[in-house]
Structure 1
Amino acid sequence: MNERILRVLEYHKIIDQLSAQAATTLGKALVSQVKPSTDAKEVIELQKETDEAAQVVRLNAAAPFGGIADIRASIKRSVIGGVLTTEECLDVAGTIYGGRQLKSFVENLEEERPILEGLAERITPLRELEREIKSCIDDHGHVMDSASQKLRSIRSSIRTLESRVRDHLDNYTKTKGNMLSDAIVTIRNNRYVLPVKQEHRGSIGGIVHDQSASGQTLFMEPRAVVDLNNQLQESKGKEIQEIERILRDLSDQIAGQEAFLQENVEVLAKMDFMFARAKLGQTMRAAMPKINERGFIKLEQARHPLIPEDEVVPNDVEIGGNYTAMVITGPNTGGKTVTLKMVGLSILMAQSGLQIPALDGCEIAVFDQVFADIGDEQSIEQNLSTFSSHMTNIVEILKRVDHKTFVMFDELGAGTDPQEGAALAMSILDDVIARGARVIATTHYPELKAYGYNREHVINASVEFDIDTLKPTYRLLTGVPGRSNAFEISRRLGLDESVISQAKSQVGVESNKVETMIASLEKSQLDAQKDYQEAHENLLESEELLRDLEKQWKKLEDQQEALYKKAEEKADKALQKAREEAEEIVEEIRSMKTNTQLKEHEWIEARKMLEEARPDLSAKRGDNKEKPSETGASKELRPGDEIKLLTANQKGTVLEKISDKEYLVQVGIMKVKVKRQNLQALGKQEKQQTERQVATIKGSGFHVKTELDLRGERFEDALAQLEKYVDDALLAGYSKVSIIHGKGTGALRKGVQDFAKQHPSIVSARPGGSGEGGSGVTVIEFR
């Protein structure tokens, strides 16, 4: 992509906005290098990265980039043996910490973000190196006493010596204050001194390190503290050496982690670049374009990104499908050039991985070259006219145009004789279109208004002009060429009607026809757009109403479900209470030994009735709806079919079909004629259940085994199973059964035997014989 087109379309202003969104110097460095890519795969990948970061930004999740710095120069210096400063070491630690925070941020995102997660995996925490730096240097860049034992000792010595020196000098300020210019202790040449008056120099004695501007004050180091100051300077020298050793050691450790640090820096820069593109898209209310290589461009309500949102007029532009060229006509300052630049800038932004300020659903092609001839670029130095300057530029463009090129011509053919200029403009457009390029051109020439109607791949467009206000609306009307508004504007400005009529009479008939046709097309398109807008608004209202209805319906269903659940829970509680009371009554009767007068099957049937008393509310909710084809009234019944007589709530069998609406059925011992609407065919599952119940009542024992295995069961559960099993075995008509309880501790065996002693229908309970399982089995015999 040539630099001239980037300058003409003001691409650098977009990059400046992008740089402002970057949070780190690393991200800003990447932004400064960005250029539109001509590789479609790379562009698609860039758009995916931006969209993934934009999804995070839309959730108001701020990615943490605090503390991250560009440490690449410091890393390089440490590798070649340089000693880093405390600030550089802190930058390394801060970048390690920032990388770890960003890694944690990505890992804790609720939804999957494959690109960000892949980058986060490449970040190495390097906690040990960060901890080592932080243990040696504080947040202000000061090497702490704890950095080494030797440094701690040296600084302790320095503090002691400083205290001794100050004590000596304080004594001077107290005893010989009249000889001093000021009763203070100060420092000159890194040594503690006193401000002595010139006339008392000999009385104090010592070394003069400096004097005041007037010469009246001498800064002297008394002889009594010279040795102490020397010792102090020596200790400070040792301190500097120890600090340098510590920093060298840290620098060596940083150099040892060069590969990981460089990888971290690269990843952090890319992630910052991704989020900068996403945040710029959010600022512009931009959308991710779909990328293609077919030369197809579709922009819906696209806006020029450099015009304030409250001033810009959105427009729809489509090119590269049914037509490859668009010719825009209309008045000056009507927005033709803005539209031209908006399309070109959208292409450059999309190919740079940026989202474009338009609605969702927009589509952009990837071009190898974008060319533009926009504005008056005549060169005084080259002594070129406006026309010559344009033609020089166009000649260069035509040398490089091919099917993967997008071209923009502003005022094509302007600056020369109108007739020749129009002919030249049409010839240039024909040449560019023949090479397969996509082209948008603006012009004033009336001859080009009919150009789109005479070329298969060309469409006319115009910028709208409001006659009432005498101002452009900046709206692009596709499919309609611009018409001259000279007569209307003149009339609105007060030109005499006779002059206007005279002028109209001098305009050719064909021109009048063209103007009339254009006016008709404009009106038709405006009406169509108005109808479309109304229809679109109605559609949005309908969709909103549908969503509200669905929400209300869901709310009603939830309320109904809650009521059913509440009723079911209430029924469960009532039934549980009844079951507990019934069990208490049964136990009380058995303990009174009055139950011998009742038949055992009556106990069993009473308990089963209690178990089946729970209401099945799920059937009312439609959870177990029967299929009409199986149980509905429409199914034809045949002799032998199992049915349910709805009027009596009894099951029976079809004996004979009397007519389509009447059947002869047997219910119990009765044979009755019943209308079809009062019969319900039993489903397969219900029929099998009925057969099992009948088999049980008849005493068929095919579904009850002659032994019960209680091994591994809890004591209470085992006795509950035993009680039910004995009831079932009695119904099945067994004379004896085997209860397998194992040997174990003997507690379960004793529980089985105690149960057998108390049960009125059990005659005996003995241990199993040698072939029956021994003491691990109890054989129960019934009456």
Structure 2
Amino acid sequence: MNQKTLSIMEYERIKQAIRGYLVSAAGQHELSRLQPTANPEKLQRWLDETQDGADIYRLESGIPLPQLDDIRPHLKRLALEAVLNGLELAQISRVLWTTSAVVKFFDQLADKEVTMRQLDREVHELVTLPDVTRRLRTSLEGDGHLTDDASPELRQIRQHITQTAAAIRQTMDQYTRGKDAKYLSETIVTIRDDRYVLPVRSEYKQHFGGIVHDQSASGQTLFIEPQAVVGLNNRLRQAQMDERHEEQRILAELTALLTPYQDEILRNAQILGHLDFINAKARYAHQLHATEPKLSRDNAVNLRQARHPLIDPKKVVANDIAIGQDYKTIVVTGPNTGGKTITLKTLALVQLMGQSGLFIPANENSVIGVFDDIFADIGDEQSIEQSLSTFSGHMENIVAILKQADEHSLIVIDELGAGTDPQEGAALAIAILDQIGTLGSYVMVSTHYPELKAYGYNRPETINASMEFDAQTLQPTYRLLIGIPGRSNAFDIAARLGMPATVVAAARGLTDQDSQDLNAMIADLTEQKRQADADAASLHDELQEATELHSSLQKQFDQYQHQKDQLMLDAKQQANRLVDESRKRANQIIADLRKKQLDAGKSVVKEDELIAAQGALNAIQQDTGLKKNRVLRREKAKHTFKKGDSVLVKSYGQTGVLMQQLDDSHWEVQLGILKMKIATTDLEKAADPAKSRKQPRASIQRTGSSGMSPTLDLRGHRYEEAMAEVDRYIDSALLAGYPSVTIIHGKGTGALRKGVTEYLKRNNRIKSFGFSPANAGGDGSTVVRFK
């Protein structure tokens, strides 16, 4: 890629911004070599990696990577069979530990079913060395210091050093705190030649004996190792030498562990640096609110609301920039300070970022091309050293561009033809654009020459553009208007700044009528373009909404058509299952009734059992659940109830009268002499009894529940008679809907009380029972509560 263009576009500032997010030396190295690519396959892979990094940053705040140093020099020393020092080994250990952590991190992402485009394949190249990593982590601290766990011998030697140093300090403390302290210059213990000494006044040097290691500058203080600690200092020195020898042995051993894995370790470091670089690209994209661009092999660029990445986001103005599909040349005209140069730089720099695998500061679904080279001529090229004028400097650049550009090149030129006579400059600009058109290059140029406005209309694949100017405030809005040439606002600006009206009027008079008409036409076109863009945006939103709605409805209709036949088949199968189940249940109920009738000679068939059996038979009928059906409407009318209606209680097969509605789902029903609480779903309107007297009515003979009391008195009854009475009474009470009843059995011998208790225990329809309160009979009566 053209290096001068990278310099003009301040590409290095983009890399500098990314550098702030890097944590590894390998990542820094990869960033330093970053250049835009013209290889579509490589570029797509770069973008896929950045998208993976962005997804991981969004879900997990990025790939977990610590600070990693450059280990390449250490591996070179390892290749030369040198013994690595503790710091070098610790830095390699950090790379190996990070390798294991990253592999585990991506395994967890896979468990969460996070889809990666590219990174999972690259992570599979990492080689974990668990045994080597564990040994290094156990033996070394982060700064390279060997731990006591590096070897049993090292631990023992260090314990000996600690004990010996403690003994020396204890002995020396006797001198500094005892009666000998008066012979010292200072009551401290210091070190000379790695040995513990005392600062003794020179006149008392014989008092302590031992060895003189040093003296002060004045000679008044001698640093003496007392005779009492000479042996301990010797032992300490020997232990320290043993410690160094053991440390060297351990370092050599750890270095030997790494020797067989030099290539794997280097590759791991490179991959971790690459992941660090991807992390940094993702974080920069997040900070910039950048999005993934799509690639166009045909170089049909379409940047949606593109922003210059180096301008304050609060101040930058976004613009839509498109080139390559309907036109390959854009001629931007208009006055200075309108934003033409920034717009040209935005196109080129965003394209360079995209071709570097970076996300671009533009809205989603923006499209970039894949250009072989991007050329730029922007800025003042005047050079005193080369004796070149501004015009000459521009011409040299353009000559070089014309020699190198082809149909796969993007060219941006600011103020084409400027710096010379306007008439000649305009003619030269037109000729240069024609030559670029012959080469087939894509070009965006800015100019002041009005002649180029007509050029934009007359040449194929060429379009005019301008920077919007607010006629009310006479200030630029920095918005790009494609299809509208720029108009001159010099007179309006001069008048607004206070130029006398007579001078402005005179200037207008000196301008030919054609120029004034052209400016008026441009102003009208600008307003029409603004209104058309607003209408188009509104219509686009409405069309998108309608399209989405249609798509949703079509999808639901297709699902309905697909499911209809299956639902019908499922319904038929379900109906068949219900019929089979109902037939089996009916047969069982009939068999039970027949058995009860056969046994009637031995025991009376109870009233509640007959009603329950009839209810079970009636409950076999299933609700079809059909909607909007005449049969359904008739059935629904059967379930619209009001007080006084005759109803059929389906579960009992009996007709009653509605007395009152107890709640939303229950009615009180008069069934003969009984009043019962019945669920609404168990009721169905019955024919008026007056109109259906001739029709037979189902009836069940009851065993004397008429006028039953909530209290049963068994006193004076024989045991067998009393138990039969209890059985009948409980059945009647259940049918009457009583929540509880009281059975008076008296105290007496306790036989009746025991018999009642045993019966109630066996009856599964009893919720609970117990003796009455002391003031209501005590253990002479039992209160029974039903389920």
Alignment partner of 2:599 out of 590, 594, 601? 594
Alignment partner of 1:163 out of 156, 166, 169? 166
Residue deviations 1:447-500 (CA, integer Å, cap 9, x gap): 111111110111100011123222211010100110111222233344444444
Residue deviations 1:198-217 (CA, integer Å, cap 9, x gap): 11012222222122333322
**2:17 counterpart residue number:** 17
Could you tell me the TM-score, scaled by structure 2's length? 0.70
**1:451 counterpart residue number:** 455
Q: Secondary structure at the match of 1:257?
A: helix
Measured after TM superposition, the shift of residue 62 of structure 1 is: 2.9
Measured after TM superposition, the shift of residue 252 of structure 1 is: 1.3
The answer to whether the aligner puts 1:28 opposite 2:28 as a matched pair is yes
Q: Is the 8 A contact 2:586 2:617 kept in 1?
A: no
Query: Structure 2, unaligned stretches of length 5 or more?
Result: 558-576, 603-612, 636-787
**2:736 counterpart residue number:** none
Pair 143,451 (structure 1): closer, same or farther in 2 beyond 3 Å: same
Residue deviations 1:103-160 (CA, integer Å, cap 9, x gap): 2222222322141211222222222112111222245543223322222332233234
2:49, 2:493 → 1: CA distance?
Answer: 51
**RMSD across aligned positions (CA):** 3.6
Measured after TM superposition, the shift of residue 543 of structure 1 is: 8.9
Measured after TM superposition, the shift of residue 592 of structure 1 is: 8.6
Measured after TM superposition, the shift of residue 95 of structure 1 is: 2.0
Paired residues for 1:215-234 under 5 Å: 215-234=219-238
Measured after TM superposition, the shift of residue 506 of structure 1 is: 2.6
Pair 480,170 (structure 1): closer, same or farther in 2 beyond 3 Å: same
2:583, 2:521 → 1: CA distance?
Answer: 90
Residue deviations 1:205-254 (CA, integer Å, cap 9, x gap): 22221223333221111233323322321221111010011011111112
Pair 585,202 (structure 1): closer, same or farther in 2 beyond 3 Å: farther
Q: Is the 8 A contact 1:340 1:408 kept in 2?
A: yes
The answer to whether the aligner puts 1:283 opposite 2:290 as a matched pair is no
Q: Which moved more, 1:540-549 or 1:474-483?
A: 540-549
Paired residues for 1:644-723 under 5 Å: none
Q: Secondary structure at the match of 1:210?
A: strand
Q: Which letter does structure 2 place at the counterpart of 1:115? A: Q
1:148, 1:48 → 2: CA distance?
Answer: 47
Q: Is the 8 A contact 1:106 1:116 kept in 2?
A: no
Paired residues for 1:314-353 under 5 Å: 314-353=318-357
Alignment partner of 1:366 out of 354, 363, 370? 370
**1:151 counterpart residue number:** 154
Q: Which letter does structure 2 place at the counterpart of 1:49? A: E
Paired residues for 1:546-695 under 5 Å: 590=595, 594=599, 613=620, 615=622, 620=626
Residue deviations 1:610-663 (CA, integer Å, cap 9, x gap): 69927466x6599xxxxxxxxx99xxxxxxxxxx99999xxxxxxxxxxxxxxx
Measured after TM superposition, the shift of residue 172 of structure 1 is: 3.1
Could you tell me the TM-score, scaled by structure 1's length? 0.70
Measured after TM superposition, the shift of residue 76 of structure 1 is: 2.7
Measured after TM superposition, the shift of residue 5 of structure 1 is: 0.9
Pair 97,621 (structure 1): closer, same or farther in 2 beyond 3 Å: farther
Q: Is the 8 A contact 2:88 2:144 kept in 1?
A: no
Q: Secondary structure at the match of 2:468?
A: strand
1:447, 1:268 → 2: CA distance?
Answer: 57
Q: Secondary structure at the match of 2:20?
A: helix
Measured after TM superposition, the shift of residue 319 of structure 1 is: 0.8
Query: Structure 1, unaligned stretches of length 5 or more?
Result: 554-571, 598-605, 623-631, 634-643, 649-783
Q: Is the 8 A contact 2:197 2:225 kept in 1?
A: yes
Pair 137,595 (structure 1): closer, same or farther in 2 beyond 3 Å: farther
2:632, 2:267 → 1: CA distance?
Answer: 80
Q: Is the 8 A contact 2:90 2:143 kept in 1?
A: no
Report the number of matched residues: 598
Q: Secondary structure at the match of 2:407?
A: coil
Q: Secondary structure at the match of 1:420?
A: helix
Paired residues for 1:48-197 under 5 Å: 48-66=48-66, 68-109=68-109, 110=112, 111-139=114-142, 141-173=144-176, 174-197=178-201
Q: Is the 8 A contact 1:284 1:357 kept in 2?
A: yes
Residue deviations 1:233-285 (CA, integer Å, cap 9, x gap): 12211110100110111111122222221222122112121222122112111
1:449, 1:145 → 2: CA distance?
Answer: 81
1:239, 1:500 → 2: CA distance?
Answer: 94
Measured after TM superposition, the shift of residue 308 of structure 1 is: 1.1
**1:435 counterpart residue number:** 439
Q: Which letter does structure 2 place at the counterpart of 1:44? A: Q
2:344, 2:618 → 1: CA distance?
Answer: 81
1:611, 1:61 → 2: CA distance?
Answer: 65
Q: Secondary structure at the match of 1:328?
A: strand
Q: Secondary structure at the match of 1:21?
A: coil
Q: Which letter does structure 1 place at the counterpart of 2:154? A: L
1:465, 1:645 → 2: CA distance?
Answer: 71
Measured after TM superposition, the shift of residue 501 of structure 1 is: 3.8
Measured after TM superposition, the shift of residue 504 of structure 1 is: 2.8
Residue deviations 1:574-632 (CA, integer Å, cap 9, x gap): xx9999999799669748953999xxxxxxxx999969927466x6599xxxxxxxxx9
Measured after TM superposition, the shift of residue 197 of structure 1 is: 0.8
Alignment partner of 2:410 out of 406, 410, 416? 406
Measured after TM superposition, the shift of residue 348 of structure 1 is: 0.7
**1:562 counterpart residue number:** none
2:134, 2:469 → 1: CA distance?
Answer: 69
Q: Secondary structure at the match of 1:112?
A: coil
Pair 84,176 (structure 1): closer, same or farther in 2 beyond 3 Å: same
Measured after TM superposition, the shift of residue 362 of structure 1 is: 1.2
Pair 177,120 (structure 1): closer, same or farther in 2 beyond 3 Å: same
Q: Which letter does structure 2 place at the counterpart of 1:311? A: K
Measured after TM superposition, the shift of residue 534 of structure 1 is: 3.7
Q: Is the 8 A contact 1:136 1:146 kept in 2?
A: yes
**1:747 counterpart residue number:** none
Paired residues for 1:762-773 under 5 Å: none
Pair 534,225 (structure 1): closer, same or farther in 2 beyond 3 Å: same
Q: Which letter does structure 2 place at the counterpart of 1:613? A: I
1:437, 1:645 → 2: CA distance?
Answer: 75
Q: Is the 8 A contact 1:9 1:341 kept in 2?
A: yes
Alignment partner of 1:465 out of 461, 466, 469? 469
Q: Is the 8 A contact 1:15 1:31 kept in 2?
A: yes
Q: Which letter does structure 2 place at the counterpart of 1:42? A: K
The answer to whether the aligner puts 1:523 opposite 2:527 as a matched pair is yes
Q: Secondary structure at the match of 1:450?
A: helix
Among the aligned pairs, what percent are the same residue? 41
1:547, 1:87 → 2: CA distance?
Answer: 63
Q: Is the 8 A contact 1:145 1:152 kept in 2?
A: yes
Q: Is the 8 A contact 1:83 1:248 kept in 2?
A: yes
Q: Which letter does structure 1 place at the counterpart of 2:599? A: T
Pair 20,139 (structure 1): closer, same or farther in 2 beyond 3 Å: closer
Pair 419,646 (structure 1): closer, same or farther in 2 beyond 3 Å: closer
1:607, 1:38 → 2: CA distance?
Answer: 87
Pair 385,646 (structure 1): closer, same or farther in 2 beyond 3 Å: closer
Measured after TM superposition, the shift of residue 190 of structure 1 is: 0.5
1:136, 1:194 → 2: CA distance?
Answer: 36
2:498, 2:247 → 1: CA distance?
Answer: 88
Q: Is the 8 A contact 1:67 1:91 kept in 2?
A: no
Measured after TM superposition, the shift of residue 441 of structure 1 is: 0.5
Residue deviations 1:58-98 (CA, integer Å, cap 9, x gap): 33543211254432322332232222222222222222222
